């Protein structure tokens, strides 16, 4: 608005100054003509221009006397003005007086003969109409701005409500989950970001439910596994207490069974404690450089008597010497679990092959057997705690259902991977991929 006001005033100043200059030239000719008729024409022209462009025009001589005044009020009086004085010194003026809301113009009238300044034309032109118009426009603009601000604020509140509404739904769902309900799902539509948050939140809820189901199943399995040996020992003990004069042979047999159940209970508790340590955040790893060839051979020596009982051929094949950074104790447990399972769940006169290889980054351990194999629908669950493909066979071999879960936790702690390929009655193949250099995250 200020720029527009200045532009309008400047345009008015140029137009008025142009007419003022024309009048000044005409007045110079009237002085030269020394004609009353010319002076009369000048007065008529000055009055006409004053009516159209200028409010008032005065002619002032060198003595600062007003010799002509379109208002006919100050004619014959003195005009002491700094603008007039500057004009007599050769400086014409044409500027806007914002305080009085007018244009001030001065122009020197020179004598054609001597080129001396004989008179000064002094004029004022009101620009109050411009200021009035601009003030009116300012009021309109202010009103429009206020309306726009109100509209924008309303739109902002509406938009913010629409944007926050999905998050309120998420907040309500979180509060509901905090109270124990995890079945609820969020179905939000709108921007891609809202839908992404909704999908991610539902995926998180699914994962929470999976973990809750896994926890409940784990607790149920632990309770069952711990209760089974206790129940067996209770039955055996009640049998002994309920009989008089029990033969020593039967007494020894029952006590042996009780000791076996105690050993089984102790094995389950030991494996549970191992899993707890594996699951604990910041699992302590005793990393050192280990000769993997020697480590595997040492574990196979311990397992050969178990293989000999079923006449199972146990073969180790190494393609090159391998030194890697691992936790020797924990990784030995991996080899023991995998090879031990390959022997336990195998037929008499079967075979178990263990191979070791490496590239520039990883070393690979493969444990392959021709045993019972694993059904396809069980492959995705064999690393779950207490999961058994054949529960009767597991109890007969003394398994706890925790060995593969422990193995996977150890491999993960080494930032490695473990995979399984199996076919029923054809055998299974477990493959571990472990980094040669241990780089903690």
Instruction: Indicate whether 281 pLDDT > 60.
Output: no
Could you state, in order of their start, the residue ranges of all structural domains in the chain? 2-126, 208-279, 287-435
Q: Which residue has the higher pLDDT, 209 or 436?
A: 436
d(Cα 93, Cα 78) in Å, to the nearest integer? 19
Q: According to the per-residue pLDDT averaged within each range, which of 84-88, 143-147, 181-185, 214-218 is highest?
A: 143-147
Percent of the chain with pLDDT over 90: 21
d(Cα 367, Cα 388) in Å, to the nearest integer? 19
In this prediction, residue 143 has a pLDDT band, given cuts at 50, 70 and 90, of very high
- Which CATH topology does 2-126 take? Beta-Lactamase (3.30.450)
DSSP bridge partners of 417: 433
Q: Which residue has the higher pLDDT, 303 or 383?
A: 303
pLDDT of residue 417: 93
Q: Which residue has the higher pLDDT, 365 or 256?
A: 365
What is the average per-residue pLDDT within 323-350?
90
Q: Any idea how long the chain is?
A: 441
d(Cα 95, Cα 14) in Å, to the nearest integer? 10
In this prediction, residue 386 has a pLDDT band, given cuts at 50, 70 and 90, of low
Instruction: Indicate whether 52 pLDDT > 80.
Output: no
The total of other beta-carbon atoms located within 10 Å of residue 309's CB is: 10
Per the prediction, the chain carries an average pLDDT of 81
Instruction: Indicate whether 421 pLDDT > 50.
Output: yes
Reported as half-sphere exposure (CB side, CA atoms, 13 A), residue 282 has a value of: 0
216-242 core/surface letters (b: 16 or more CB in 10 A; e: else): eebeebbeebeeebeebbeebeeeeee
pLDDT of residue 155: 92
Q: Say which CATH class 287-435 falls into.
A: alpha beta
- CATH code: domain 208-279 is 1.10.287.130
d(Cα 133, Cα 130) in Å, to the nearest integer? 5
Q: According to the per-residue pLDDT averaged within each range, which of 115-124, 126-135, 189-198, 377-386 is highest?
A: 126-135
pLDDT of residue 389: 62
pLDDT of residue 387: 65
pLDDT of residue 67: 82
In this prediction, residue 38 has a pLDDT band, given cuts at 50, 70 and 90, of very low
Instruction: Indicate whether 120 pLDDT > 90.
Output: no
């Amino acid at each position: 608005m200020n720029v527009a006001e200045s532009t309008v005033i400047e345009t008015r100043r140029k137009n008025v100054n142009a007419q003022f200059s024309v009048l000044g030239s005409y007045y110079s000719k009237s002085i030269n003509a020394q004609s009353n008729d010319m002076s009369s024409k000048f007065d008529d022209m000055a009055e006409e221009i004053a009516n159209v462009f200028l409010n008032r025009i005065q002619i002032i001589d060198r003595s600062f006397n007003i010799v002509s005044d379109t208002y006919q009020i100050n004619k014959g009086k003195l005009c002491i003005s700094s603008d007039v004085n500057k004009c007599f010194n050769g400086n014409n003026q044409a500027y806007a007086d914002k305080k009085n809301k007018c244009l001030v113009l001065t122009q020197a009238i020179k004598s054609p003969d001597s080129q001396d300044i004989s008179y000064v034309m002094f004029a004022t032109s009101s620009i109050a109409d411009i200021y009035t118009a601009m003030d009116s426009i300012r009021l309109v603009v202010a009103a429009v701005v206020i309306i726009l601000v109100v509209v924008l604020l309303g739109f902002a509140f509406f938009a913010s409500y629409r944007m926050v509404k999905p998050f309120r739904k998420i907040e309500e769902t979180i509060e509901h989950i905090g109270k124990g309900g995890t079945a609820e799902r969020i179905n939000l539509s709108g921007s891609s970001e809202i839908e992404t948050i909704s999908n991610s939140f539902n995926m998180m809820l699914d994962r929470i439910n999976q973990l809750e189901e896994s926890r409940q199943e784990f607790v149920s399995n632990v309770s069952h596994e711990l209760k089974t040996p206790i129940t067996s020992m209770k039955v055996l003990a009640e049998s002994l207490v309920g009989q008089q004069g029990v033969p020593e042979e039967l007494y020894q047999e029952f006590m042996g069974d009780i000791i076996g159940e105690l050993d089984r209970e102790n094995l389950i508790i030991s494996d549970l404690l191992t899993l707890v340590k594996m699951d604990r955040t910041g699992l302590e790893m005793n990393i050192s450089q280990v000769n993997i060839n020697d480590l595997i051979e040492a574990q196979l020596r311990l397992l050969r008597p178990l293989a000999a009982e079923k006449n199972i051929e146990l073969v180790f094949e190494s393609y090159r010497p391998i030194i890697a950074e691992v936790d020797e104790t924990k990784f030995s447990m991996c080899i023991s679990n995998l090879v031990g399972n390959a022997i336990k769940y195998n037929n008499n006169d079967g075979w178990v092959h263990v191979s070791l290889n490496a590239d520039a980054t990883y070393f690979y351990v493969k444990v392959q057997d021709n045993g019972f194999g694993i059904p396809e629908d069980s492959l995705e669950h064999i690393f779950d705690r207490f999961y058994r493909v054949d529960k009767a066979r597991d109890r007969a071999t003394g398994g706890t259902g925790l060995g593969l879960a422990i193995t996977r936790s150890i491999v993960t702690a080494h930032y490695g991977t473990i995979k399984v390929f199996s076919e029923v009655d054809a055998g299974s193949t477990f493959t571990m991929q472990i980094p040669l250099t241990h780089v903690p995250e």
